[in-house]
Copies of this chain bind each other. A is one copy, B any other.
Amino acid sequence: MNGAQALMRTLVDAGVTVCFTNPGTSEMHFVAALDAEPRMRAVLTLFEGVATGAADGYARMTDRPAATLLHLGCGLGNGLANLHNARRAHVPLLNIVGDHATHHAPLDAPLQSDIETVARAVSGWWRTCRHPQELGQLAAQALAAAQQPPGQVATLILPADVSWGEGAEPAPPPPPLAPMPVEDDRLEQVARALASGEPAALLLGGRALRAAAQLDAARVAAACGARLLAETFPARIERGAGLPPLPRLAYLAELAGTQLRGLRHLVLVGARAPVSFFAYPGKPGSLVPPGCTVHTLAAPQEDAADALQRLAQRLRAPARAPMVWPLRQVPRPRGRLSPASVARAVAHVLPPDAILVDESQTTGVLLPHFTRTAPRHDVLTLTGGAIGQGLPNAVGAAIACPGRPVLALVGDGAAMYTPQALWTMAREGLHVVTVVLNNRAYAILNLELRRTGAVGDGRRARAQFDLAQPPLDFVALAQGMGVPAQRVATAEALQEALARALAAPGPHLIEAVLPSTMRGVRLRLLPYVLGLLPSLPAAVARGVQRAVAP
């Protein structure tokens, strides 16, 4: 068999049965190999950023890699931003990047570029295959690398002549790699710090944000009076009824500072030590307060869930988390669309087992608050800060979990990075409801302009954040790509549109037109920002009571 056929067999034998594609001439033999391998589902995208973001979303929901099929260095380049997000999400992902035939490369044809250099920027493993005979083995190595805990991006560069060359053999699947257990010594150290009675918090990230681990973390917290926090941008966090209060560390460093103030021990569980998202003049980058010791219970590649279970046992924690959110439907919102009423509408309609892809930026700041008593769901967030992740992630999540409704909440600016994802949703008939939160601005940059201390008379600078001229019509854009769409301007209309769209199969887009935040965004943001403060333990308790009270 030829290289492409052996590669295809190696992939599907190892359980990689979805490939997000945007092929070109150098990938034709891999495309042809699809005909003989019905186990592989090839999902065509119109832009590589959709393919890579979809593979990320798929991996977040399955913990298994999807493949991407990309056209040379430029195709990889187009997919780079969402590969960056995937890298930060610590997901397994395998890029197959076609290249010119090995004998063609020295000719420096127009599409020739240095693929390995680009691959290196986002991949934990990258290699160019030189002979069809080694392709099967190299593919298995790539898969092993991709699945090395906690998961990483692996990039296999596939010259056209390796793809069409004969004499290739499929390789057996690589052995599964479990995350490493945490050593007893380390567990003991953390247990002592927590038992000291000094102010402490557990910062959960990665796999520690799955339901069982959260509940064990809540038992630990109850046993020693520690606070619980989740990392700011989780790859996947389970949320809703039956789970303990677990506020996310705020994006704004000022607020995160409030959340962490006074801590003497910060225990990392699958998370990294918190740092400010950006630097600001005269402000510290690390968010760890002075006098606070950072302990690592479990690094991202270690078994955080097991460590939390053992820690709970060691601390003689209660058998069950003492406080979890009840199932309670948020009342229907009324009136103008605002960050609060959008969050209420979403929380009101959220069906059980939904996947909420959250790239809602400034408008979404109250979502965690209102959805905490919703039916159990997963939330995927913008792990690496490279916008354009939401719609592609939704594609991948929907393909990963065909029975589950996917709700993607994306800001207008972010939606315009990878709008092509809508076409793939229509083509594949995916049950994805997209809400574009259209405030006609890069609203967050209005805030950031002031936070960085940059000044000017403002008119020419502020024009750089203004998306109102001309206004984007997301209904037209969606319909142009085959996705039914509608526009709403009130909370009631949003809630009704959401309910209808979630009940019908297939994709749907709702454009929620919000008041422009071009002016006074700071003032308007303030209440939502304060809404984050229930992340402090006392306030959390009050929040729970509020949520339980009628």
Contacts and interface: CB of A to CB of B under 8 A. Distances in A.
B107 A285 contact: yes
Contacts of A444: 25
Given A108-B275, A476-B477, A477-B480, A417 B383 contact: no
Contact of A84 (B38, B74, B81, B416): B74
Interface in A431-475: 444-445, 448-449, 451-461, 463-464, 466-467, 469-475
A110 B472 contact: no
A116 to B, nearest CB: 9
A350 to B, nearest CB: 26
Interface stretch (A39-47, A211-219, A221-229): A39-47
A247 interface: no
B460 A34 contact: yes
Interface in A120-174: 120-122, 160-161, 164
Interface in A455-513: 455-461, 463-464, 466-467, 469-477, 479-482
Contacts of A383: 110
Contacts of A419: 419-420
Contact of A445 (B4, B25, B480): B25
Contact of A107 (B281, B286, B413, B461): B286
How many copies make up the complex? 2
Nearest to A454: B32
B104 A278 contact: yes
A121 B437 CA distance: 36
Nearest to A467: B46
B385 A111 contact: yes
A279 interface: yes
Interface of A: 4, 21, 23-26, 28-29, 31-36, 38, 42, 44, 46-47, 49, 73-75, 77-78, 80-81, 84, 88, 100-101, 103-104, 107-111, 113-114, 117-118, 120-122, 160-161, 164, 233, 272, 275-279, 281, 285-286, 383-386, 388, 413, 416-417, 419-420, 423, 426-427, 444-445, 448-449, 451-461, 463-464, 466-467, 469-477, 479-482
